[in-house]
Amino acid sequence: MRSSNYDKFPYVSVSAQAEACHIGWPAITEVLRAALEAAPLVPDSPLVLAVECYPGTDLKLLQQQLESNLPADQYLVADDYFRSPAEIDQLVAGPLTDDPVFGRLNGLTVADFFDPARLRQAQQTLAAAAGKLVVVLGTGATILCPTPALTVYADLARWEIQLRQRRGEIANLGSDNFTEKPSLKYKRAFFVDWRAADRLKKQVLPRADFLLDTNNPTEPKLIRGADLRAGLAAAVRRPFRVVPFFDPGPWGGQWLREVCDLPDGPANYAWGFDCVPEENSLLLGFGEARVEIPSINLVFAHPRELLGEAVHGRFGTEFPIRFDFLDTMGGGNLSLQVHPLTEYAQDQFGLAYTQDESYYMLAAEPDAVVYLGLKENADVPAMVADLQRAQDDSTAPFPADKYINEFPARAHDHFLIPAGTIHCSGANSMVLEISATPYIFTFKLWDWARMGLDGRPRPIHLTHGAANIASDRTTSWVSQHLVNRVEPVTSGSGWREERTGLHEREFIETRRHWFTDVVPHHTQGGVQVLNLVQGKEAIVESPSQAFEPFVVHYAETFIVPAGVGAYTIRPHGPAVGTECATLKAYVRTQA
């Protein structure tokens, strides 16, 4: 039996009153019916309930349950007023490009999906329904009716959307591509659906009367908008964790299964995502009930308090720091890869910044290595030719040892990876990856002649990759600038602080604290992300009791909002009397 204490379902407590959360369609529709009865009537206008939906919401189920429990004079579904799927395919073709993985960020909105003539027809239908109860639902419901009597926002986590895509349950926004490959559905959602929906969400969610959690179709949950906003306000005043999720991969290992107490079903777990606010969820607690919302909602609602003035000024409503796990313990090498240089990311994909990153080794077997940078005098054109040959002919493997450095990797080593540096983690390692967050812009150069979990070759991006390999990142430079750049910073009674990077090209700073006693920390006006990289358990406390003590366990990542200011961390529970360590990341706001 595993002895893990890793918390897979962390939550922010909002209220001890479970009745603030209404569970199940009968209870939900009863609350909505009462709210509609109390809504003021506008002469010569319909009484409209607008249910704005995040793309991926099960509209058929939603409409069926509402019609069964909340009879209305008329139902309007936003999708019925969209352009045709063929017209929408043409609309999104430019941003999507013909690349199987990458597209361009763009300014499309949900309003662009509507057929102007059909939209006018819908608004005429509403105008003719004076005095009647009309339910408008779907993505864009609040565009069909901008001033409803009651607004419900039906929300859905990105991870749940991806699972539904993989099961073939949903198509993309305005599309009928149910049978398309899940990877292409994800790409389209990433570059089009989610960008457009988030632009609308920022307008609607702050004024929504209710939030509907649709992640579990058999157990929907409804809370009042005021309680949602109270939960978000509570989260931004204290350290918190988002809900982690895990996924298998062709190179995956077994460390996450053991340490994080994950199910035995998948053959491995390759990735663990425990601080990617655009993708992770945030749980809000109402007594024993838990309401799941996308954690990006917190970034949208409280960007200044969460990120801090300087970080918000630079990144807006994007969370710029990403922590995730890469598990090759008992698995294989990651794909050999490189991230785009800043100007390439801007020119090709419309990105404001690129994916600089680092590997912090949580654990490593004696044979573990990290592939990082080119060998001295490496012939880059010859290397690219060999990479192409390996891709064309599986019997001619790429001679990685001829071109790429291999550095031994041990627990607590830190390898810095500014964009343009060729790299990958080898087998038998457990990596805490710390990076900027453009999310999917990784150019695979070689995948060690293996298939993906679907039995097909994984996409290789050699043309993109070859254009971004920094030929000056060779052995001596990498050894001096990117491997274990540990510098003492300061110390106190029972603790010491070290700077472990990152490189000056990267905007993220990392600090490691070793401690057996209380360590003082301060956000200095900027958001901070930490992981307990050694020790069974630690407790985060406010010197002024501004927030409830917050317990974290080994390998858990947590976020400290900028507005928290001063906080302390010390060993707790089974870790008392042992040496613990945290790794902290934050955005550099000055040179």
Domain CATH number, residue 395: 2.60.120.10
CA distance 463 to 584: 35
Domain boundary among 452, 481, 510: 481
Q: Say whether both 249 and 293 belong to one domain.
A: yes
Q: Which candidate, 349, 345, 354, 240, places its Cα nearest to that of 297?
A: 240
The answer as to whether 37 is a domain residue is yes
Helix, strand, coil percentages for the chain (3-state, nearest 5): 30, 30, 40
Q: Which two tokens stand for residue 305?
A: 């308090």
Q: Sorting pLDDT into bands at 50, 70 and 90, what band is 591?
A: very low
Q: Sorting pLDDT into bands at 50, 70 and 90, what band is 3?
A: low
| Adjacent-strand bridge partners of 566 | 522
In this model, does residue 16 exceed pLDDT 90?
A: no
The answer as to whether 240 is a domain residue is no
Mean pLDDT of the chain: 94
Out of 5-14, 232-241, 391-400, pick the least confident: 391-400
| All residues at 6 or more sequence positions from 490 whose CB lies less than 8 Å from its CB, including other chains | 496, 497
SS3 166: helix
Q: Yes or no: say if 423 and 443 are a contact pair by the CB < 8 Å rule.
A: no
SS3 for 182-238 is HHHHHHHHHHHHHHHHHHHHHHHHHHCCEEEECCCCCCCEEEEHHHHHHHHHHHCCC
End-to-end CA distance of the chain: 49
The CA-CA-CA angle for residues 349, 352, 355, to 5°, reads 80
Q: Say whether both 437 and 554 belong to one domain.
A: no
* HSE of 330, CA atoms in CB hemisphere, 13 A: 9
Q: Say whether both 230 and 86 belong to one domain.
A: yes
Q: Say whether both 286 and 157 belong to one domain.
A: no
- Res 1: pLDDT: 39
The domain tally of the chain equals 3
Q: Say whether both 468 and 359 belong to one domain.
A: yes
The answer as to whether 333 is a domain residue is yes
Q: What is the mean pLDDT of residues 298-311?
A: 97
Count CB-CB contacts under 10 A for residue 431.
Answer: 25
CA distance 7 to 285: 15
In this model, does residue 452 exceed pLDDT 80?
A: no
- Res 393: pLDDT: 86
CA distance 523 to 558: 13
The answer as to whether 454 is a domain residue is yes
- Res 450: pLDDT: 85
Q: Say whether both 269 and 416 belong to one domain.
A: yes
Give the sign of the dihedral formed by CA 469, CA 473, CA 479, CA 480: negative
Q: Say whether both 188 and 299 belong to one domain.
A: no
Q: Which two tokens stand for residue 154?
A: 């039906």
Domain boundary among 465, 481, 497: 481
Query: pLDDT by residue (tens digit) across 394-414?
Result: 788 999 999 999 999 999 999
Percent of the chain with pLDDT over 70: 98
In this model, does residue 177 exceed pLDDT 60?
A: yes
The answer as to whether 565 is a domain residue is yes
Q: Which two tokens stand for residue 447?
A: 């995948």
Q: Which candidate, 277, 230, 264, 241, places its Cα nearest to that of 540?
A: 241
* HSE of 543, CA atoms in CB hemisphere, 13 A: 9
Which residue range forms the structural domain that includes residue 523? 487-587
Domain boundary among 454, 481, 508: 481
Count CB-CB contacts under 10 A for residue 3.
Answer: 8
Q: Which two tokens stand for residue 586?
A: 């934050």
| Adjacent-strand bridge partners of 325 | 272, 432
Q: Say whether both 507 and 403 belong to one domain.
A: no
Q: Say whether both 83 and 172 belong to one domain.
A: yes
Q: Say whether both 150 and 207 belong to one domain.
A: yes
Peptide bond between residue 502 and the one before it cis (omega within 30 degrees of 0): yes
Give the sign of the dihedral formed by CA 347, CA 349, CA 352, CA 356: negative
Q: Where are the beta strands (DSSP E) in 304-345?
A: 321-327, 336-338
Q: What is the mean pLDDT of residues 388-395?
A: 88
In this model, does residue 2 exceed pLDDT 60?
A: no
Q: Yes or no: say if 67 and 167 are a contact pair by the CB < 8 Å rule.
A: no
What is the CATH number for 77? 3.40.50.300
Q: Yes or no: say if 214 and 156 are a contact pair by the CB < 8 Å rule.
A: yes
The answer as to whether 2 is a domain residue is no
Q: Say whether both 34 and 139 belong to one domain.
A: yes
SS3 487: strand
The answer as to whether 3 is a domain residue is no
Specify burial of residue 159 (Cβ count, 10 A radius: 0-12, 13-18, 19+): buried
Q: Sorting pLDDT into bands at 50, 70 and 90, what band is 163?
A: very high
The answer as to whether 4 is a domain residue is no
Torsion of CA 537, 323, 182, 215, to 10 degrees: 50
Q: How far is CA 172 from CA 185, 198, 201, 574, in A?
A: 6, 15, 17, 48
Query: pLDDT by residue (tens digit) across 104-161?
Result: 999 999 999 999 999 999 999 999 999 899 999 999 999 999 999 999 999 999 999 9
Out of 270-274, 451-455, 496-500, 536-540, pick the least confident: 451-455
In this model, does residue 439 exceed pLDDT 70?
A: no
| All residues at 6 or more sequence positions from 209 whose CB lies less than 8 Å from its CB, including other chains | 35, 150, 151, 152, 224, 225
Q: Say whether both 290 and 377 belong to one domain.
A: yes
- Res 308: pLDDT: 97
Query: pLDDT by residue (tens digit) across 37-88?
Result: 999 888 888 999 999 999 999 999 999 999 999 989 999 999 999 999 999 9
